Structure 1
Amino acid sequence: MSGVPSTPPDSKTHAPARQGAASDGALPRDVLGYLWRAAPASHIKLFALVLMLLPFNYASLELPRLIVNGVTDAIGGTVPRLLELDIGLPDALGGFVLFRSKGFEVSAFGLLAGLALVLFALQLIQQHITRLIEMAKARLGERIIVGLRRQLFDVIQRLRPEAPMKSKALEVGNMMRFEVGPISPFAGMAFAQPLKSAGLIGSATLLIFTQNAVLGGFAIGILLLNYVLLGIQRADNARKLQVYQREAVALGKRVMAGIDRLPLVHGFATSPFERGAVDHRLGVVSEASLDLKRQNFTDRVLNLLMSDVPTLVFYSVGGWLALSGAINIGQLVAVVAAYGQIPEPLKELIDWDEKRLIAQVRYDFARYYLETREVWPEHSQEMPPGPEPAFDGSIKVADLGVVDPAGSLLLEGVSFEVPPGTAVALKGPDAGGKHAVARVCGRAISLYSGTVRMGGHDLAHVREAVVGRHVAYAGGDPIVITGTLRTNLLFALERRPGRALTDAIDLAALGLADEAALDRKALAALAGAGLGDLVVRLGLERRLDPDQAPALAERIVSLRAAVTDAVAQRQAQSGRVLIEPFRFAAFNRWMTLAENILFATPLNDTRGAASLLAEPGLLPLLEKAGLASDLIALGRSALRILSELAGGPEDLAGIDTKGLLRAEEMGEARALATRIDDDPSPDERALLLRIAGRYCEPRHRFGLIDEDWQERALAGRAQLAHLKDVSGIALARYQPDSYCRALTVRDNLLFGRIAADRAGAAAMVDEIVRECLALDALIGQVERLSLDVAVGEGGLPLSAAERGKLTLARCLLADPAILVIDDALVPLSPAEQSHLIGSVLAGRTGRTTLVVLDAGEPLNLFAQVIVLAHGQVERVEAGAALEPGAGLAATGA
């Protein structure tokens, strides 16, 4: 299968899909090559700073000799001269003078103080230059890592549909955040650090040579020995580090694979095998880690020997040379001080090399992604310069062929034309090719032979930024973004950089005045996709903050009477009780016992009213009202019944307690149930109070609340009516003339609870509520509340049908010139699919719509029906919706 052309006609704009630090070739294999190409000018600036540091470093090494010799000579009677310098090569190297200054005469103390001040000044200058180097290194490292991460994300954004996912989304995210992270600190020091360390070592060695050629030879020999030993270390470290990194990545992949198949593990009880496989990987990684630590310890011992043994040699040989008169005391001090500086830059070189090895491993991992060729061309996601290209909504397919990754032929020689503004059905067996045609037109398949023109543009060459604005695809694998309903819908319109909604969406281009108009357009798309009932339900289930929307809260309260009257009329007509209203003087059977006693619910506390019964701020009041002992007795009775239903206290966790017990309370409940008639401890009393507070007779049906209990609860309610909070937890009271922010919009409208024991009561009540909202022109505001409802992780709270409809709604909101509906509606029944497709087509008059149909769906909605079988066009039928004069054209293979 040839697929899309590898080099489009305008190859200057559409570069081949090849990534790198520069656009003229692939990435260098070595991390140092990548870092140099990423910012050569910045590296050169760092070189300049490092070279600026070296003269000051050399001078600071020379000063200790001048101080010692100057003070010694002054004691011997010589007139001291400050800043008298004579810097040059030793006699063995020709004695060439590099720098000479006569200075000026001072006292012995003046010489000592002056040279000390000069040394201090040199140290300050070196510290300042070093700080400039470190900051420049940090800025450079961050700039390079940002560029690398941007390249990685760009490649991921441009992956073709056929590109196999090189790793899971979590692994890709971790790679961008952590795996390439160690490249950042190394990037800034990649070239400057070895130059700085080599320069410091070189300046120290040069100074030793200027003092004595023998000691200079010793220094060079020690450095050569260090180089050989470091080479051995480097090779061993690289091998062991690569082993550790490889095994650690393999462990991560094995753990993620186990998570992916967790449902199968539970279903087939294969957990022992999974644990064994991971245990094996853990052992391998642990051994590799220990091996690396052993090597590091060996390296530290070797480095210590390389540092300490040469120092002993210098003291011994230098001392012998001083005693023999070959060098003076000042030169010996300078030599020892100079060599004392060598171990630190040498250690920095070792650290640099270790960081280089780590960065190389991370860079190889990043290069694996960056060098993929399974991507759309560069700049394909940007709009071309000039006015936006015209897009007429036509589809022209010529000699289309598609082969799946396994090599099976999906389409061969398929050709047809669809005029702009036409509704077309693709029909035939599932494996006949209709889905492949839809996926090609919807860009879910990008590798094909032949030609596909969408809206007058060759799909192989047109930029994604153009076709993405005019073509929408509703496939069978709906993507639900973790976030709100609004987030999921408006994603189709967020095409501009920016965090704020007004930045990301061009409202003027959509012909919208403000965000409220955008919300209305989003709600219309949801209704068009068959999600109108879901929108209303989500809006009614919202908890509204009256401080943020006081006008809406006030209107909801004012609508209560109308809703109550409408429910009463429906109850009278049907003879069924639908709701039980909140009345202060009446016990509400559908409220928990705690809610009945408090006639309130805690605000901003998810534990519920029952959790308050054992609070120190409420328990004394319950005892005073004579309810505490009764509640404990009721809780004991409920726990006893649960234990009997379970067949014993030890099996309590095996039954549905209908909310009377929570998971974290199960252990304590089992222990208490074994001695149910004993006096409970304070903690056990609190548990029994919570059990009693959660009890609701119609729900649990244990027969524990009779009329006498109801009267006692109402009496307690009257005594506790003054409470505004319990132990600092604010209470939201049920008041008929105000909005209760702890209740949902539905409960605030009903000001009561739905009688859940009546079949269909909830649906009937929601219908009444919707009618009342519509009459009062509030339905739109309640629907708008639903846009801020979170749809959960990946849309899990939604059904498969709702996820498919949400995908369709996102496409409808984009209002594309060409809409391709593939498998998004598969979870719906045939009748529901037909109704929804008819509704969508009615709202898309004058727009092109391509729909993949099942055999049982009506064809009278379409102007054209293309039947595919065995990967070819079998026939083309004119539908009942064909307009006079509209053209049809198709040719088979």
Structure 2
Amino acid sequence: MSIPSPSVPGGTEPPAHGGAGPGPGLPREMLAYLWRAAPLSHIKLFALVLLLLPFNYASLELPRLIVNGVTDAISGKVPRFLEFDLAVPDALGGAVFWNFGGFEVSGFELLIGLAAVLLALQLIQQHISRLIEMAKARLGERILVGLRQKLFDIIQRLRPEAPMKSKALEVGNMMRFEVGPISPFAGMAFAQPAKSAGLIGSATLLIFTQNAALGGCAIGILALNYLLLGIQRRDNAHKLKVYQREAVALGKRIMSGIDRLPLVHGFATSPFERGEVDNRLAIVSEASLNMKRQTATDRVLNLLMSDVPTLVFYAVGGWLALSGAINIGQLVAVVAAYSQIPEPLKDIIDWDEKRLVAQVRYDFARYYLETREVWPEGVQDVPAGPAPAFDGSVRAADLGIADATGGAVMEGVSFEIAPGTAVALKGPDAGGKHAVAKVCGRAISLYTGAVRLGGHDLAAMPEALYGRHVAYAGGEPIVINGTLRENLVCAVRRRPWHASGRAIDLSGVALAGLDLESLGLPDAAALDRHVLAALSLGGLGDLVVRLGLERRLDPERDPALTERLVTLRAVVTDAVARRQAETGRVLMEPFRFAAFNRWMTLAENILFATPVNDGRGAASLLCDPGLAPLLEKVGLADDLRRFGLAALRILTDLAGGPEDLPGIDTKGLIRAEEMRAAGLLATRADEIFSAEERMLLVRIAGRYCEPRHRFGLVDEGWQERALSARAQLAHLRAVSGIALARYQPDAYCQALTVRDNLLFGRIAADRAGAAAVVDEIVRGCLAQEGLIGQVERLSLDVTVGEGGLPLAAAERGKLTLARCLVADPTILVIDDALVPLAPSEQSQLLEAVLARRTGRTTLVVLDAGEPLHLFSAVIVMTHGQIERIDVPGAGEAPLEAARA
């Protein structure tokens, strides 16, 4: 450990790190982004559209040929099949470039042939249109996936200074919902207007070739439609933006309200919260109504633009036919051609509507993608080539940190830590020690000066290098809603997902993405041993054993282990008996068929079994239709109902009345969904109950356990009745199809925990410390028989819940440290992870960790009580400055003297 110096050798004085943006932003216009995302795909779509147009034009021409051919045949002229020419319209001179005379056929043959050609043209157009639609869909999904990947990349690169929870929720909602409308538009962004314009153009061209006046009329109508379309869409974009802005503001306000719920309940501010949200809801509703009004207006205008011109063409075209300017075939062709214009015109209108919607969504996405609260783009890329050297040193030069208001938290701090040393940071909480640890742990990314870890600039260090060599145990534990194993191995899940998109499951461990090579581990079993060692070193050895003992095993899935546990049962029970004899304390009550077990419920004592894979429990089986007749036969049905009623009345008296029953701890006698019915039942003076009420009373009786509830209801007489019923029901193996796991001294009981199977009994929980003593005995027996590792491994598949709520605060802190130990970092930074622990436990844990990490760099933030002899040096910080350096065993040295 070198003495702090005013500068790092060879260092520079960079500006505040983290000010750079996330990288190149998106183009302002969505169409520019869509073209850049996949230009070749758009070109392919253009080619398909161009291929479609000749077939479309030919299909519009065929009705004229059919009508004229039939008329010619009626007038005596010989029809010709496939007669056509390439010529300029008569209005432009009528020059013929190429003429094909066709074949002489009869009128009927001409009709059938042209109809067949028309059908073929329609089928070809349908096929090309299908190809266009599929290409559009693929392109849209491809672009949407790319945009969502960019948005998720923002979440991955959020800086610790960003409002991470709200930002992640906003971007997550953006990924799921807001950018969705971009997908159907992305594929049609260029191809759809080209296709619609081509179809309109081919129809207009055909009209113009039939008659110049009608062609001019068509062009004029289209120009009028274009003008009306511009007027129609003028206000739509603004209204949509207003709606989007207010909807996003409403979502943010609701998320903020969820975060402050404890304050709402604590200070009764719900009226204000509801009023503010109601006001925002009214604003959003009004914006939505404005959009719906505009939509209704658009529909009327679209109807006028599509239907009125058709009537004009019928009138003008009919008059021209009557005057002899055009023949009937040309009139049919003109009317048929114009009938094709409204549909592509409507497609252009729809395209414009979707463009406005997609542009608004795109603008919001671009806002998030250009946020300044993320790490620079590329920081999470894995560098090519061999991994660079990382020596484990920590150096800071003129390190400075400002708070949110711009005030200096720390300024001008410089120090150097040699590789492989353990150094402590000490001083007041606001003195700067936590700030130094957070900078090294990347929990603070905005700072001035320079920090180098392992010889690399921290500000520019790729995450792949940092995550492999540095680990930070902070004071805000992150517990994944998954198993204990998943919470630990996430520290080494650094590789991309398996190419097939499926995890490779081996021995219960999802190995996809795990970097086993960096840890020197060959397989899943070795990984489990490594994880268990980290848990033990992190102070969670007792928790691991406890969770393993609380697991339930299926003998068919683990026959070897369950058989060994049954074999070990005699050893465990003998050890517990010896301890009871030595101390004179009752630690447990064994399961004996001929004896009543006080720590089993009344239902378990009657059945001497537990249902398998049925969450209702043994008490619910007592009122099952398949068991009720047997209880009547052995004379227990009425007794159980009276027992349950007595227990219910005692509970009601303890509560102070039926209405107060939900406010007391019933210790499992009455479940929440039964509370209302139980309260009504407790007020009844008579004992004439319905079937449902009788079943409730039996369930209450079946859940009763004398040492737990202490109502004095189970006397010697009840014990004898329960044992008598047990003997008569011993033949039962199932009730209404529900299998029973019976308590047998020579077999493993699937419905019991591993602990209860080893003890073949229940711990006397009314004896203080009995559970801890019994677990100590069980652990010793397992270790002696070489089974402790297998039981510990069972704990890795236990789900720890969202946020780790089943765990104590100290256990969550230890879990954070254990996760860091699994990563086996070159530099370990321990900040506030161990704050919930008692000082003595902190000291023991740090001593064990530092002893294991000999030769590796460890930086620990200390409070007042830890032993300092574990560290090579102690940096004492006050008021954002280094006050002095303490070297254990060498006394103190003021900073100035140390520098000299």
> Normalized against structure 1, the TM-score is what?
0.95
Counterpart position of 2:105: 106
Residue 676 of structure 1 and its aligned partner are, at CA, apart by 4.6
Counterpart position of 1:239: 238
Whether the 8 Å contact between 1:88 and 1:210 is mirrored in structure 2 is: no
Q: Distance in 1 between matches of 2:159 and 2:400?
A: 17
**SS of equivalent to 1:235:** coil
Residue 170 of structure 1 and its aligned partner are, at CA, apart by 3.2
Residue 98 of structure 1 and its aligned partner are, at CA, apart by 6.4
Output one character per residue of 1:516-573: Cα deviation in whole Å (capped at 9) or x when no partner: 1111111111111111111111111111222222111111111111111111111112
Q: Percent identity?
A: 78
Counterpart position of 1:451: 450
**SS of equivalent to 2:129:** helix
Change in Cα spacing, 1:310 to 1:74, as seen in structure 2 (3 Å) is same
**SS of equivalent to 1:589:** coil
User: Is 1:664 matched with 2:673?
Assistant: yes
User: Is 1:651 matched with 2:650?
Assistant: no
Counterpart position of 1:194: 193
Change in Cα spacing, 1:881 to 1:792, as seen in structure 2 (3 Å) is farther
Change in Cα spacing, 1:458 to 1:891, as seen in structure 2 (3 Å) is farther
Write the letter of the residue equivalent to 2:89. Answer: P
Counterpart position of 2:500: none
**SS of equivalent to 1:559:** helix
Change in Cα spacing, 1:164 to 1:271, as seen in structure 2 (3 Å) is closer
Deviates more, 1:37-46 or 1:643-652: 643-652
Whether the 8 Å contact between 1:472 and 1:816 is mirrored in structure 2 is: yes
Q: Distance in 2 between matches of 1:724 and 1:224?
A: 85
Write the letter of the residue equivalent to 1:313. Answer: V
Write the letter of the residue equivalent to 2:194. Answer: L
Counterpart position of 1:170: 169
Whether the 8 Å contact between 1:859 and 1:880 is mirrored in structure 2 is: no
In the alignment of these two chains, the number of paired residues is 875
User: Is 1:574 matched with 2:583?
Assistant: yes
User: Is 1:524 matched with 2:533?
Assistant: yes
Write the letter of the residue equivalent to 1:555. Answer: R
Write the letter of the residue equivalent to 1:772. Answer: C
Output one character per residue of 1:327-380: Cα deviation in whole Å (capped at 9) or x when no partner: 111111111111111111111111111111221122112111211244333333
Residue 3 of structure 1 and its aligned partner are, at CA, apart by 4.6
Output one character per residue of 1:463-522: Cα deviation in whole Å (capped at 9) or x when no partner: 221122111111111111111111111111111113334442233442223211111111
Counterpart position of 1:747: 756
Whether the 8 Å contact between 1:863 and 1:880 is mirrored in structure 2 is: no
Counterpart position of 2:428: 429
Deviates more, 1:82-91 or 1:353-362: 82-91
Whether the 8 Å contact between 1:82 and 1:106 is mirrored in structure 2 is: yes
Counterpart position of 1:538: 547
The CA RMSD measured in Å over matched residues stands at: 2.0
Summarize the alignment of residues 51-66 of structure 1 with structure 2, pairs less than 5 Å apart.
51-66=50-65
Q: Distance in 1 between matches of 2:234 and 2:684?
A: 70
Counterpart position of 1:22: none
**SS of equivalent to 2:405:** coil
Residue 163 of structure 1 and its aligned partner are, at CA, apart by 3.4
Counterpart position of 1:117: 116
User: Is 1:610 matched with 2:637?
Assistant: no
Counterpart position of 1:91: 90
Counterpart position of 2:631: 622
Residue 185 of structure 1 and its aligned partner are, at CA, apart by 1.2
Write the letter of the residue equivalent to 2:598. Answer: R
Residue 202 of structure 1 and its aligned partner are, at CA, apart by 1.0
Counterpart position of 1:327: 326
Whether the 8 Å contact between 2:22 and 2:375 is mirrored in structure 1 is: no
Counterpart position of 1:362: 361
Counterpart position of 1:493: 492
Counterpart position of 1:211: 210
Change in Cα spacing, 1:544 to 1:827, as seen in structure 2 (3 Å) is same
Change in Cα spacing, 1:828 to 1:96, as seen in structure 2 (3 Å) is farther
Output one character per residue of 1:83-128: Cα deviation in whole Å (capped at 9) or x when no partner: 1124544322332446632211101010000000000000010011
Whether the 8 Å contact between 2:18 and 2:445 is mirrored in structure 1 is: no
**SS of equivalent to 2:450:** strand
Write the letter of the residue equivalent to 1:774. Answer: A
Whether the 8 Å contact between 2:843 and 2:867 is mirrored in structure 1 is: yes
Which consecutive unaligned segments of at least 5 residues does structure 1 have? 8-15, 20-24, 883-887
User: Is 1:824 matched with 2:833?
Assistant: yes
Q: Distance in 1 between matches of 2:787 and 2:896?
A: 50
Q: Distance in 1 between matches of 2:92 and 2:626?
A: 93
Deviates more, 1:640-649 or 1:71-80: 640-649
Write the letter of the residue equivalent to 1:252. Answer: G
2:697 alignment partner, one of 688, 693, 710:
688
Q: Distance in 2 between matches of 1:88 and 1:582?
A: 104
Residue 395 of structure 1 and its aligned partner are, at CA, apart by 1.5
Residue 17 of structure 1 and its aligned partner are, at CA, apart by 4.4
Q: Distance in 1 between matches of 2:75 and 2:370?
A: 73
Output one character per residue of 1:424-459: Cα deviation in whole Å (capped at 9) or x when no partner: 111111111111111112222222222222112222
Change in Cα spacing, 1:469 to 1:845, as seen in structure 2 (3 Å) is same
User: Is 1:677 matched with 2:676?
Assistant: no
Summarize the alignment of residues 303-318 of structure 1 with structure 2, pairs less than 5 Å apart.
303-318=302-317
Write the letter of the residue equivalent to 1:160. Answer: R
Whether the 8 Å contact between 1:418 and 1:889 is mirrored in structure 2 is: no
Q: Distance in 1 between matches of 2:293 and 2:625?
A: 58
Counterpart position of 1:336: 335
Residue 862 of structure 1 and its aligned partner are, at CA, apart by 0.8
Counterpart position of 1:248: 247
**SS of equivalent to 1:580:** strand
**SS of equivalent to 1:732:** strand
1:875 alignment partner, one of 854, 877, 884:
884
Q: Distance in 2 between matches of 1:891 and 1:299?
A: 80
Output one character per residue of 1:59-78: Cα deviation in whole Å (capped at 9) or x when no partner: 10110111011101111111
Output one character per residue of 1:757-783: Cα deviation in whole Å (capped at 9) or x when no partner: 111111111111111111111111111
**SS of equivalent to 2:451:** strand
**SS of equivalent to 2:424:** strand
Residue 159 of structure 1 and its aligned partner are, at CA, apart by 2.5
Change in Cα spacing, 1:447 to 1:480, as seen in structure 2 (3 Å) is same
Counterpart position of 2:732: 723
Whether the 8 Å contact between 2:151 and 2:171 is mirrored in structure 1 is: no
Q: Distance in 2 between matches of 1:859 and 1:99?
A: 102
Counterpart position of 2:605: 596
Counterpart position of 2:10: none
Counterpart position of 1:483: 482
Counterpart position of 2:6: none
Q: Distance in 2 between matches of 1:156 and 1:592?
A: 51
Write the letter of the residue equivalent to 2:807. Answer: L
Which consecutive unaligned segments of at least 5 residues does structure 2 have? 1-12, 498-502, 505-509
Output one character per residue of 1:796-840: Cα deviation in whole Å (capped at 9) or x when no partner: 111111111111111111111111111111111222211211111
User: Is 1:761 matched with 2:760?
Assistant: no
**SS of equivalent to 2:183:** helix
Counterpart position of 1:138: 137
Whether the 8 Å contact between 1:243 and 1:288 is mirrored in structure 2 is: yes
Output one character per residue of 1:672-706: Cα deviation in whole Å (capped at 9) or x when no partner: 22225241111111111111111112212222221
Q: Distance in 2 between matches of 1:222 and 1:732?
A: 83
Q: Distance in 1 between matches of 2:407 and 2:485?
A: 40
Output one character per residue of 1:202-226: Cα deviation in whole Å (capped at 9) or x when no partner: 1111111111122222212221222
Q: Distance in 2 between matches of 1:750 and 1:659?
A: 24
Write the letter of the residue equivalent to 2:522. Answer: A
Q: Distance in 2 between matches of 1:208 and 1:735?
A: 94
Q: Distance in 1 between matches of 2:465 and 2:896?
A: 26
User: Is 1:859 matched with 2:868?
Assistant: yes
Q: Distance in 2 between matches of 1:515 and 1:699?
A: 43
Q: Distance in 2 between matches of 1:710 and 1:520?
A: 47
1:640 alignment partner, one of 600, 625, 649:
649
Q: Distance in 1 between matches of 2:637 and 2:340?
A: 79
> Normalized against structure 2, the TM-score is what?
0.94
Counterpart position of 1:40: 39
Write the letter of the residue equivalent to 1:800. Answer: A
Residue 168 of structure 1 and its aligned partner are, at CA, apart by 4.1
**SS of equivalent to 1:868:** strand
**SS of equivalent to 2:866:** coil
Q: Distance in 1 between matches of 2:276 and 2:685?
A: 46
